[in-house]
Structure 1
């Protein structure tokens, strides 16, 4: 969601900076991660330190709403909460700390404005690795800052080039750019400790929420003071109030270096104290080593062989970004703040929070479930806890509130896939009842959740009406984007029908499968564009087709579709390929439409140029488009539509071309990374398999990017993907496949085949004429709701 286009890396920074880790094939997988990828052109990642799925992150703050961007010239501070790749403003950077030296005037309020006391820095020697970040501040006489993190704490080590007094500013009143802080407090506890609160705005216009923190230093400070909007007071131990400048400064006599440990909690001050006692106040290097060991274990769940150093870096950085979220939500004692704003306790499991479901239901969710089904079970249990405490299932859950951001029904395919992957064992009945409620009902007006706000029309008429003035409880509501919401509902209902059938609920399964075809209700066979006839078209209340006031309806317009057009959303019908093909005029006509959508002939001639000049057209440019948009989620699965209609070699063409957008550079993520979704898309597609149809457990295949990949599963078995001669620099196609030594003419494998442990041996060719593999009857997977 909320994408900006990526541009050529060479136009941004010198080549030597673009690939700071482009060395010979490294031995340590951590050396194949570049956390600066995605820190420019709205990738919105952060380069700082985090543990896998950590509650606390420590990363620099610059001039961007996501925190840091590579072209910034100054660092304002080091914050302790960040989202990776999200699209809206209000993205954290809470509890901003900055070391400095020299004198300052506490009487001037501007002295404590981080936009003014920010320090210049250099990219020379800057390091971004999993669990570790280092930068040299060139201001204040020169200061090295290193950061690392545990699950619930962040550590910074400040090493001063100059001798003499040094200060640390702890800023609670400011955070990332465009992150409103509506209230904060800070208190000097003793000569090593400060604690306080930050009340800040939740993501995408949500409600304010409170973060508690506690920071300790490994050395005592000898003097201190606090500031408020009117200026600073030396010797003051407390400052508290509403919006405005607020914080504390701490002065150390000739410290050489100082290490700070900060823990946060969403429960209370005791939570932050306990988190710090359990995970903080440790030697920096030992924490760094332990966290990097954990990262090494996580990243080594996939071993790849072959490819250039840059390609390995892109792959492992993508895997790294996928494993950052959702975030741990409970304190070390198991307590967490629920969606009823009460304190609950997770006993024997981890409560997770921050769910960007509209994005992550498409592939990030499945990648986590494949690699770590135990963690996926806790994720599912967390979603169900939201339902129990809040009364409804979420769409975009930020901390302990529903933001009602984005549209459709993403939680259904999200949870159904977790069921399909075995991550709902013991929770199947509870999950199914919550999903059925969500599918068929609407939350009461008093509920903060919107759920399927278009359900009244959808259940009665098979479509969500297009009504741009429909009231909403948050940023978005489904009737404002009625056509795309209808397609999202239908896809979700089809996935739920698979679960219903698996649970023996035959009657429900039949009804839900029928709703899975509701996209047909919006298919207007009279609409023609670019020589193709028949497109989804919004309907208004009463059932009439929507027609703009200023002219005829065009499938390239914005009306009725969320962050996309009818051209992109027409492919969000992967649950019913026979029905779609029939409406498009047959297999060849459907293929011709896909060819036009991807500019296929141009791709064959020059893949890299075509994707940048014909697919990626401009920042936030969702509308007036008829091409594939690789920057955003609605059509991410569409390359595999070729395989679903019997032309799998073209899937390989499109995927290879799309991979040119992922580079070892600050702008090397296409669009916002959306809490790991775009990165997960790359990981799956580079491996040569993709979960294109929710709920089915089917992985549709294409030419892998690496000669060999081994996916180590949690059950001790492995998936081995071999593709001798794989070369990401050219277009390649699958000529043949053996699964566990047996020839296969199917363009898909099942989840069960993978989890039992399998070897997929691809035979590749550069000659499309030889790529007849999986083009016959039975080559494509069956449609679950066809």
Structure 2
């Protein structure tokens, strides 16, 4: 009888009618603060995100197009990004008005009040105050449905403005008939080459009443076809008081025919209420995959809104017939899978994609099939893909994490061998510091910016590839990538117990673990010193064992919550130096579990759940980042977290809710809850052996161990006279060897000699060194030292930004030139001020030429000086102008470039040379950072 009752209960749990989970969703969560979410109408993973735009610039808190603090709506566009840190999308913007139509944004925009605004899953409405128009929206996967209710009679207008948010390259509007138009919007922003086609249908005839464009149209069809990089139109009709005007907008990435097919298949009729109900049904089906029980309505809203945010992307990016625009910009057909876009992989590999492996295995396989097609069509796996474009935003090649995690969990539906081929190919490239990483075992400041973060994330990704290789029987590759997965040891300093940047073969100094700088990706050393998910036991050992590791975690969580260095908007939600508002910290609270301190994991995780997620517009402590911030909440509240994606086992924590039921795609359910002991979280398909073992990430050192590279320590890269050089092996070594190469010995036959103690160099040289332990040797590390070509000294009369110091004052005349990658630290940066310095030549001498190099990267606010002046003096008091150079490079030129500002001095005699460069000043309105202060970047002043 008990078995029968249990069977009935289980059957009831599976077949019971779904609750209306969509009612728990509050789309306004994250629209305030720094959440960067939007409140508009969309369906799970839909192509359309129909939402109001209250910001039309690229401001930080306007990335989604909407911010809760605003009071003006400019229009309603059909594509938006959920919680990203860079603006894009905002395609096909429509705005209703009444009276004489205007195509001026200031005229057709309208104020609004949150008192007259409503948002729910699949629905959004607002009252536009200026003309008292109620605007309501819902959607299907590929079609947005507008409903405008007019409070008075008169002429109603629908403004279509294609010059909205990102840069319009070319727009087209084709008038098919009085109720139908077709639109192409080709634009660029974060993604450089975007195509959005649309079919727009009005519920009643409309006529064109205003046009603003800058291109001609065929002479005989000027009333039916409009084109240009400036394009806006108004469509008008007479309406009665209380009349409703509906507009359908179908999108397609492939063409007008695709948009028409999408319209016919998904929304052939005009029933707004029925379409909204269908959208809500789609959300109920998705949200019902996880049932949580709580008497706290706010917690239910937070949980289901978090789950909702994880389901807003990736977005379907193919037409109903499977046609899509590939990475090669050609049209293809998806066979046997659905093609998607918006892969914020640096964020989402950590928790969002592992969540999908649990509740959305079919889409997980589709995502990986999309990756494979992008590899075949574009030459590599996606990094941060948007609209079939690679933005190359963020770091790593974290597609491989998603693939390895799916393979480890047995998800089928994609070609494992092809996926492995693509993963291996991505790891063998030579861009973004990979060349240095492959050949010396780490990335230094000299090689690439964000060197520490890239080294660490590449090492984890390589471990993922190794797991794939092992599953496929590629044993040689398994060993190769497992060795690379230990390269994290080359940037770990056991003395200070931190990951820290290297420069010229040694540690970069001075070192402050709180400093946010260009050696880390959106963070500092604290926020990266625990990122070794592939070798947690090895990391614990490197810190000195379990007690020392626990103490280091305690130190991080208890440190003052203040960073130094660059202001970084992403670093929010600080508990000590833990930053929950940004992804690199997300696994850290779970690391206590690995030193047998699960109570500390629970304390930290539950504190974050209680305090950093709220049922309010500012309810997210940081950017949503395409579902990652919310995925952390969903998984943590269920009692699990994927510290190491690519392993089947999850790391447990005490569940947050009274009861949680997970409905899996095979029809079974898994249950967890607050009263369940942590060690009984058996709702995944573990083997008994896997379940009994604590989740670990041990690397077999007997076959894949490495010897970390030695550290070459000296007083700096440039020296006068002579300099002492010392070598150390941070992880210990039996022996170290080195060789010194100079111009004077370049023709000699020389070999490495054993290091026995510090030695002296007296000329410019290259030192190459390696360490040996047992029968294993390290990579060779290289350090280049330059004997200064002069004995000049420099006195700075301006104050540089300490992030961009180039080695201090003497770094401007040391004979070492900065290159185009200014983030490596070889340039000196001055913001909001002129540059002024005096060079002491040490004695009076004839001067024939004076020059200084400056850099421009306009997107990064670095602009050429307006003018550079050179002065001469004998007494360091009375300076005479001897020449000036005016800048000729426009600030609008976005190419990164170096310019030499040089004058001929005709042998004038002087001891002191003053250089003064005039700053561009405040960034103008056309610049995305308008209102901010420009930088001057200078490196290497030469006096001949």
Which of 272, 288, 309 in structure 2 is aligned with 1:300?
288
**Residue among 693, 696, 702 paired with 1:781:** 696
| Residue 470 (structure 2) pairs with residue 506 (structure 1) | no
Count of aligned pairs: 670
Deviation of the 1:307 alpha carbon: 4.6
State the alpha-carbon separation in 2 of the partners of residues 41 and 114 from structure 1: 25
Out of 208, 211, 214, the residue aligned to residue 196 of structure 2 is: 211
- Report the Cα distance in structure 2 between the residues aligned to 1:363 and 1:736, rounded to whole angstroms: 19
Q: Deviations over 1:420-461 (max 9, x none)?
A: 23334441000111111112333xxxxxxx5xx322222222
Alpha carbons 2:516, 2:563 under 8 Å: kept: no
The question of 1:461 aligning with 2:440 is answered: yes
Counterparts of 1:410-449 in structure 2, within 5 Å, are 410-442=398-430
Could you say which residue in structure 1 is the equivalent of 2:661? 710
Within a 5 Å distance, the mapping from 1:342-741 to structure 2 comes to 342-442=330-430, 450=431, 453-467=432-446, 479-526=448-495, 533-540=496-503, 543-547=505-509, 551-552=510-511, 554=513, 556-599=515-558, 619-621=569-571, 627-659=577-609, 660-724=611-675, 737-738=679-680
Label 1:667 to 1:736 Cα distance change in 2 as closer, same or farther (>3 A): closer
SS at match of 1:199: strand
Taking a change above 3 Å as real, the CA distance of residues 401 and 618 of structure 1, as seen in their structure-2 partners, is closer
Q: Distance in 1 between matches of 2:461 and 2:685?
A: 19
The structure 2 residue matched to 1:258, chosen from 233, 242, 245, is: 245
SS in 2 for 1:566: coil
Question: Does structure 2 conserve the Cα–Cα contact (< 8 Å) formed by 1:555 and 1:565?
Answer: yes
* 1:165 alignment partner, SS class: strand
Worse overlay, 152-161 or 715-724 = 715-724
1:38 offset after TM fit, Å?
0.8
* 1:42 aligned counterpart, secondary structure: coil
Q: Say if 2:175 is the partner of 1:188.
A: yes
Residues 554 and 173 of structure 1, relative CA distance in 2, 3 Å threshold: closer
Give yes or no for contact 2:175–2:225 (8 Å, CA) kept in 1. Answer: no
> Distance in 1 between the 2:103 and 2:324 partners?
33
- Tell me the CA shift for residue 172 of structure 1: 1.7
**In 2, are the aligned partners of 1:640 and 1:651 still within 8 Å (CA)?**
yes
TM-score for the superposition, normalised by structure 1: 0.80
8 Å Cα contact 1:226-1:239 kept in structure 2? no
Check whether the contact 2:103–2:210 (CA below 8 A) recurs between aligned residues: no
How far has the Cα of 1:696 moved from its partner?
0.7
The alignment status of 1:95 with 2:57, answered yes or no, reads no
Distance 1:518 1:195, change over 3 A: same
CA change 1:624–1:151 in 2 (3 A) is: closer
Task: Please give the alpha-carbon distance, in whole angstroms, between the structure 1 residues aligned to 2:24 and 2:301.
Answer: 4
Q: What do the CA deviations read for 1:589-641 (whole angstroms, capped 9, x no partner)? A: 111111121129xxxxxxxxx98999xx9734589997001111112111111
Going from structure 1 to structure 2, the CA distance change for 1:125 and 1:623 (only over 3 Å counts) comes to: closer
Structure 2 counterpart of 1:745 = none
Alpha carbons of 1:493 and 1:181: their partners in 2 closer, same or farther (altered >3 Å)?
same
Distance 2:201 2:516 in 1: 55
For residues 518 and 34 of structure 1, what CA distance do their matches in structure 2 show?
44
CA distance in 1, matches of 2:369, 2:237: 46
Q: Which residue of the partner structure matches residue 744 of structure 1?
A: none
Distance in 2 between residues matched to 1:674 and 1:624, nearest whole Å = 17
Between the aligned partners of 1:710 and 1:613, the Cα distance in structure 2 is: 40
Please give the secondary structure, in 1, of the residue aligned with 2:198.
Answer: strand
Instruction: Report the equivalent of 2:157.
Output: 167
Q: Say whether residues 1:119 and 2:110 are aligned partners.
A: yes
Matched, 1:143 2:130: no
- Deviation at 1:136? 1.3
What's the CA shift for 1:546?
2.7
Question: For 1:112, what is the secondary structure of its paired residue?
Answer: coil
Structure 2 SS opposite 1:124? helix
Aligned-pair CA distance for 1:99 = 1.2
CA distance in 1: counterparts of 2:35 and 2:200, whole angstroms: 30
Mapped pair 1:237 → 2:179: no
Partners of 1:184 and 1:274 lie apart in 2 by 21
C-alpha contact (below 8 Å) 1:358/1:396 kept by paired residues:
yes
Task: Quickly say closer, same or farther: Cα 1:739–1:33, change in 2 above 3 A.
Answer: closer
CA contact (8 A) 1:172 1:198 kept: yes
C-alpha displacement of 1:573: 0.8
Q: In structure 2, do the counterparts of structure 1 residues 702 and 710 end up closer, same or farther at CA, with 3 Å as the change threshold?
A: same
Q: 1:751 to 1:507 in 2, by over 3 A?
A: farther
CA distance in 1, matches of 2:177, 2:273: 25
> Could you say which structure has the larger radius of gyration?
2
Residues 250-271 of structure 1, C-alpha deviation per residue, up to 9 Å, x if partnerless?
3244380011000111111211
8 Å contact 1:155–1:259 — kept in the other structure? yes
Partners of 1:263 and 1:250 lie apart in 2 by 20
Of 124, 142, 158, 1:133 maps to 124
> 1:441 aligns to what SS in structure 2?
coil
Q: Per the alignment, do residues 509 and 267 of structure 1 end up closer, same or farther by CA in structure 2, a change over 3 Å counting?
A: same
Matched residue SS, 2:324? strand
Structure 1 unaligned blocks of 5 or more: 1-25, 105-110, 443-449, 471-478, 527-532, 601-609, 725-733, 741-748, 759-773
Give the deviation of 1:347 after TM superposition: 2.8
C-alpha distance in 2 between matches for 1:753 and 1:718: 17
Q: Secondary structure at the match of 2:96?
A: strand
Measure the CA separation in 2 of the matches of 1:390 and 1:273.
Answer: 28
Contact 1:220 1:252 in 2 (8 A): no
Partner residue, 1:39: 31
Q: RCO higher in 1 or 2 (8 Å CA, sep ≥ 6)?
A: 1
CA distance in 2, matches of 1:66, 1:409: 25
Preserved CA contact (<8 Å) 1:212 1:265: yes
Distance 1:623-1:294 versus aligned 2 partners, 3 A rule? closer
Contact 1:574/1:641, CA 8 A, preserved across alignment: no
How far, CA to CA, are the matches of 1:717 and 1:735 in structure 2? 22
Q: For 1:318 and 1:736, locate their aligned partners in 2 and report how far apart those are by CA, in whole Å.
A: 23
Distance in 2 between residues matched to 1:408 and 1:708, nearest whole Å: 37
Contact 1:641 1:651 in 2 (8 A): yes
Alignment of 1:761-776 (within 5 A): none
Partner secondary structure for residue 97 of structure 1: strand
Aligned residue for 2:680, secondary structure, equals strand
713 and 71 in structure 1: CA distance in 2 versus 1, 3 angstrom threshold: same
Q: Deviations over 1:500-535 (max 9, x none)?
A: 212222222222222221111112223xxxxxx322
CA distance in 2, matches of 1:557, 1:668: 25
Decide which of 271, 280, 284 is 2:258's aligned counterpart: 271
* 8 Å Cα contact 1:44/1:673 also seen in 2: yes
What is the alpha-carbon distance in structure 1 between the residues aligned to residue 573 and residue 110 of structure 2?
40
Deviations 1:552-572 (A, max 9, x none): 565635242111111111110
